[in-house]
Amino acid sequence: MPITATERAEAMALQVLISARLHHGGVVTHGLVDAVMSRDAGQEQGKANKATVRRIIRTRADSENVRVIFTADERYWAIREQLHHMTGEQVDALSDDIANGGDDDPRGWDRPLINAIAARRSTRAAASRLRGCTPVAVPLWREPLRNLPTPDDVRDVLHEVHQGGHRVHAGIPADHVRTVVSNLRVKQKPFTQGPDGTIHVEDRAYVPLRRFHMRIVNGGTPERVETRAALDEINNAMMVPGKQAVREMSAAGSRARIVYKGIRGTVLLRPATAEEAAATVKPEAERYTAGDQVTVRPVVYNPERREHRVLAEYTGTVVNWHGGHYNVRAVVADEHGVGGVRQCQVHELRPAGPCPATEH
């Protein structure tokens, strides 16, 4: 039995109110209503009349403990509250940034925002309703397009879609996410990109799936690299001109053994295990500190015979990091470098201890 238009609108209003409480700081805006109705467009409640949905939300706002910001006057005072909790320098910087944005900056055409900034910068005493107010924690104005991520910023890996903190889709191609980003830019909708590459849109997040490979040089300590970099190296070794620097190569799937003609030697590439992928990896310059005991597995290159030779391992003490390598002093000086100090690449070192299983 089909539901009535009112029941449809009430069901949609309930979804908006739930989203506001869980993911939007208890605030309902036009943008949130549009986003939730767009999300549920394929369902029965998604066909509700938008004006009716907003009217129901407003009547239920107090009982649902949410704040409604629909009208220009409501936006103006909500912005005033946010500006009231900003320092004078921050407000001045915001005003200058809007002025520098010119006609392309949507904030310059936002009359409630401009009026609120003018009132905040004036010498008049703050309105009494602002005393002790708690500003909403959601953005109330659109950021300029120049600050939005571009399709080129999307990482070239598969993505997961998270909504409300829960994964709802997996295996989303990067091209699909680029299309989403492009559409958001055209519609001038606010969205951000986190340091890890995640695209945040309202209560949705497109999270890049980071995949890793292990790269082993001349049988040394495995180094973790992005899977994309590993696949690029494999492809480069298969195609001209990169193929011209390869003596021999074998590959199966995403695994490969590449023997280069020059000083690079033999490189093994394989997918990282779950433990290796989850491990925290420091930058090369931070792996060891002065005084650390390490086991050195020295590898020397003979340019005449164009081959690498692995020397006997020995224990050493890290002196410092310099110029892209570690200086390591041998515990027993012997012939290991000048005065017992040798320049070592990271893959030639491992923490002092028993020898792990090697990969060939």
Structure confidence by residue, pLDDT tens digits, 209-258: 888 999 999 998 899 998 888 988 999 999 988 899 999 999 988 899 99
Same domain, 76 and 141: yes
Q: Which of 123, 145, 167 is the last residue of a domain?
A: 145
176 found inside a domain: yes
pLDDT, tens digit, 9 for 90 and up, residues 129-151: 888 888 888 878 876 766 678 89
Same domain, 9 and 20: yes
b/e map 29-44, b = 16+ CB within 10 Å? bebbbebbbebbeeee
H helices of 102-191, in order, are 111-121, 174-186
- Domain membership of residue 166 as a residue range: 148-208
Question: Which one, of 171, 226, 231, 177, lies nearest residue 204 by Cα?
Answer: 177
% of the chain at pLDDT higher than 90: 40
Q: Which of 96, 111, 145 is the last residue of a domain?
A: 145
Same domain, 77 and 136: yes
Residue 318 bridge partners (DSSP): 328
141 found inside a domain: yes
312 found inside a domain: yes
257 found inside a domain: yes
357 found inside a domain: no
- Residues with Cβ < 8 Å from 117, sequence gap 6 or more? 83, 91, 94, 95, 98
Same domain, 35 and 60: yes
Question: Which one, of 185, 130, 196, 213, lies nearest residue 160 by Cα?
Answer: 196
Q: Please state, rounded to an integer, the average pLDDT across all residues of the chain.
A: 87
- For residue 291, is it left (φ>0), alpha (ψ between -120 and 50) or beta? left
Overall domain count for the chain: 5
Phi, psi of 296 (to 5 degrees): -100, 130
Query: Is residue 327 a contact partner of residue 348, using CB atoms and an 8 Å limit?
Result: no
Q: What is the CA radius of gyration of the chain?
A: 30
Same domain, 33 and 84: no
Same domain, 113 and 141: yes
Total-model pTM: 0.48
- HSE-up of residue 211 (Cα within 13 Å, Cβ side): 16
360 found inside a domain: no
223 found inside a domain: yes
Residue 357's pLDDT band (cuts 50, 70, 90): low
359 found inside a domain: no
Q: Tokens representing 115?
A: 């009026």
